[in-house]
Amino acid sequence: MLRVGLTGGIGSGKSTVARRLAEHGAVVIDADRIAREVVEPGTDGLAEIRQAFGDDVVSDGALDRARLAQRVFTDETARTTLNGIVHPRIGARTAELMAAASQDAIVVHDVPLLVENHLGPAYHLVLVVDAPEEERVHRVVRDRGMAEQDARARIRAQATEEARRAAADVWLDNGGSRDEVLAVVDALWADRLVRYEANIRLGRRAKYGTPRLVEPDPAWPAQAARLRERIAMAAGGLAGRIDHIGSTSVPGLPAKDVIDLQVTVASLADADAMGDGLAAAGFPKLPGVDHDNPKPYAPDVAQWRKRFHAAADPGRLANVHIRVEGSPGWRYALLLPDWLRANPAERDDYLATKRELAARYTADDDTANYSEAKEAWFDAAGPRAEEWARRTGWQAG
């Protein structure tokens, strides 16, 4: 099952996207609809609200939302009380609908406050629908009959564009025509969502192509941060720390468009214990990789044992290296990026090697050969990096 979080501010056109995904076959769970269902006439949710806030919040047997809003939006205690009544019921109903979906389903959870409540790590992918503020105001005034000042106040009260961009794996610009955004959604469904779901269900990584170098992407750190949060949730407390490592963590360094992350564990038994959770979160284990290549200063392969997972998402390739704290591989993975950041000449030397090898290995199945060929450079660089660490007093972490 692929879990997709869908969000966007008022007037962004999120419902248009949700309907299109449903047309393709997605199971859409609408958080707003559930919030209304759990307080419908005759429900225990409505009864508990009436008991907590009095008869004046109920009119003709139904919840008077406007009157209740006046009570809770100016009173934090009242708002906490209301949330304590409604949120558990919404959560239970959402879990029920999720459980009812088939194992090969693409479930789209439409959540207006996904960013505000920091819910992104619970999903395999977060889609954010957005449009320019003036267009959003125009839509809300036209379609909902809301006063312009009220529409602007609602927009100001919601998450900022900066916060939404930080949470978004996919940013859907809905400032143009309806056909334009629908075409983007159609391509997203076919090229990413369907393939991502199949990869998770079959326990396979997303397919890598040619080991091609690209220019540094300023979005890499934010993408790594989102992956780290998902991995931390999936690890269930077994991860000591999660670091963005590798070339994409070094500013200004061209690299393959693959995020490398290192998960620190106390033992490989802990790494194995989190394996199923990582696979379910979209990071299946690659059973054929259980160690790094030993370096000359530590030739015992047993010291370099690890576990290796990779992203199933065809739209965001990533490697997840799980290493025991204090092991040579763990230390080297942390040291090398810091050393390259601090030593531009070494970074340039590494880049020259990468470019030469990328030009040599151009076939779709050459990624492993490309990585193996870099080992000679790593072997030679290790002593130089360690000498720098001694000279500067560098410590892992």
- For the stretch 29-50, pLDDT in tens is 999 999 999 999 999 999 999 9
Q: Provide the number of structural domains found in the chain.
A: 2
Residue 355 sits in the same domain as residue 377: yes
Q: Answer yes or no: is pLDDT of 211 > 80.
A: no
| Strand pairing class (213-214; 255-256) | antiparallel
CATH number at residue 109: 3.40.50.300
Structural domain harbouring 262: 213-392
Binding residues for ATP: 11-16
3-state secondary structure of 171: strand
Is residue 147 a part of any domain in this protein?
A: yes
Binding residues: 11-16
d(CA 188, CA 170): 9
Is residue 207 a part of any domain in this protein?
A: no
Q: Answer yes or no: is pLDDT of 364 > 80.
A: no
Is residue 86 a part of any domain in this protein?
A: yes
d(CA 391, CA 85): 59
Residue 174 sits in the same domain as residue 288: no
Residue 89 sits in the same domain as residue 55: yes
The angle that helices 344-360 and 375-392 make with each other, rounded to 10 degrees, is 170
Strand order in the sheet with 318-324: 241-245, 259-265, 318-324, 307-310
The amino acid occupying position 198 is A
pLDDT band per the 50, 70, 90 thresholds, residue 151: confident
Is residue 328 a part of any domain in this protein?
A: yes
What is the tens place of the pLDDT at every residue in 153-207? 888 888 999 999 999 999 999 999 999 999 999 999 999 999 999 999 999 999 9
d(CA 359, CA 212): 8
Residues 110 and 31: beta-carbon distance below 8 Å: yes
pLDDT band per the 50, 70, 90 thresholds, residue 365: low
Residue 183 sits in the same domain as residue 230: no
Residues 6 or more apart in contact with residue 211 via CB below 8 angstroms: 256, 357, 358, 361, 366, 367, 370, 371
Residue 159 sits in the same domain as residue 259: no
Q: Give the predicted TM-score (pTM) of the model.
A: 0.90
d(CA 37, CA 239): 38
Residue 219 sits in the same domain as residue 165: no
In the DSSP assignment, the letter for residue 189 is: I
Interior angle at CA 352, CA 350 and CA 355, nearest 5: 110
What is the tens place of the pLDDT at every residue in 316-356? 999 999 999 999 999 999 999 999 999 999 999 999 999 99
What is the tens place of the pLDDT at every residue in 65-119? 888 888 887 788 998 999 999 999 999 999 999 999 999 999 999 999 999 999 9
Is residue 397 a part of any domain in this protein?
A: no
Tell me the CA distances in angstroms from 165 to 130, 223, 244, 307, one per residue in order: 10, 10, 19, 32
